[in-house]
Amino acid sequence: MSYLLWVLRTLRFPFYFGFEVVKTTLVVLWDVLTPGSSSVPAFVEVPTRCRSDFETTMLANMISLTPGTVTVAVGEERPATLWVHGLYVEDRPSFREDIHTMEDHLLAVTRPRAGVPPRPETADSADRGER
């Protein structure tokens, strides 16, 4: 990856994360202000591609800073596994996909030379023949 591409991804990262925070804030706000509740809370195990404590900590903090989600546990092995509580988990694979998209943006910034590795296969995706 070229240096210029890495700089552009680094400059784009705060805007991506800011948009995610605003988007999820509006979802939670709408749920609080309207009658009833549309929440579907669940704990989801999310395998990551984080190789360092820094990457794992950044991803866990990004998840916890996003309204409606919180990282409740981190596995000690490498690559780390996160256990995330989500307030709006319609289905686990799509929730995991959202976390992996966030991880993609983070790894694009923290690994300027290596690039973003392929996503890990999960039990849900193995059952459906996905990758």
User: Which of 25, 102, 23, 100 is closest to 62 using CA atoms?
Assistant: 102
pLDDT tens digits for range 51-97: 899 999 999 999 999 999 999 999 988 888 999 999 999 999 999 99
Question: What are the sequence ranges of the domains in the chain?
Answer: 3-121
What is d(CA 49, CA 107) in angstroms, rounded to the nearest whole number?
A: 9
- More confident of the two residues 119 and 7: 7
> Would you give the end-to-end CA distance of the chain in angstroms?
24
Residue 32 clears pLDDT 80, i.e. is over it: yes
- State the pLDDT at residue 12: 95
User: Residue 78 contacts by C-beta under 8 Å, 6 or more apart in sequence?
Assistant: 50, 51
Residue 131 confidence (pLDDT) above 90? no
- Work out the percent of the chain whose per-residue pLDDT is above 70: 90
Position with higher pLDDT, 61 vs 111: 61
User: How far apart are the C-alpha atoms of 99 and 76, rounded to whole Å?
Assistant: 19
What does the alpha-carbon distance between residue 47 and residue 115 come to, in Å, rounded to a whole number? 18
